[in-house]
Amino acid sequence: DAKTTQPPSMDCAEGRAANLPCNHSTISGNEYVYWYRQIHSQGPQYIIHGLKNNETNEMASLIITEDRKSSTLILPHATLRDTAVYYCIVPNNFGNEKLTFGTGTRLTIIP
């Protein structure tokens, strides 16, 4: 898997937008960027993924830079339930979907 780098922790005020950065400078042209989050003592939850274009769904938006070397996950209106560890993952493109989880970003939403 392409290596990703994320800040270890971030705080965000409740109701504000949470912007979580991820660097993936070794990403290949046809590798996707996936975001998952893990709330304490639960299994990871899929959030969003993208290749080149920005993506938006009911949970979040994903902004990928033009050179694809970094991306930002945006939670538009953070709530206390968004407190979790967020993982940015670039699976290898060999068709076996293996996910390598790094240490992620621990996002804490402050009331």
Partner 1 sequence: GAVVSQHPSRVICKSGTSVKIECRSLDFQATTMFWYRQFPKQSLMLMATSNEGSKATYEQGVEKDKFLINHASLTLSTLTVTSAHPEDSSFYICSACQGNSGETQYFGPGTRLLVL
Residues forming the site for partner 1 (CB under 8 A): 32, 34, 36, 38, 41-46, 49, 87, 93, 95-104
Q: Which two tokens stand for residue 80?
A: 């206390």
Nearer to partner 1, 12 or 86 (CB): 86
- Least distance (Å) between residue 73 CB and partner 1: 15
Residue 104: how many other CB atoms lie within 10 Å: 24
- Least distance (Å) between residue 109 CB and partner 1: 20
Work out whether strand 33-38 and strand 45-50 pair parallel, antiparallel, or are unpaired.
Answer: antiparallel
- Least distance (Å) between residue 95 CB and partner 1: 4
Residue 71: how many other CB atoms lie within 10 Å: 24
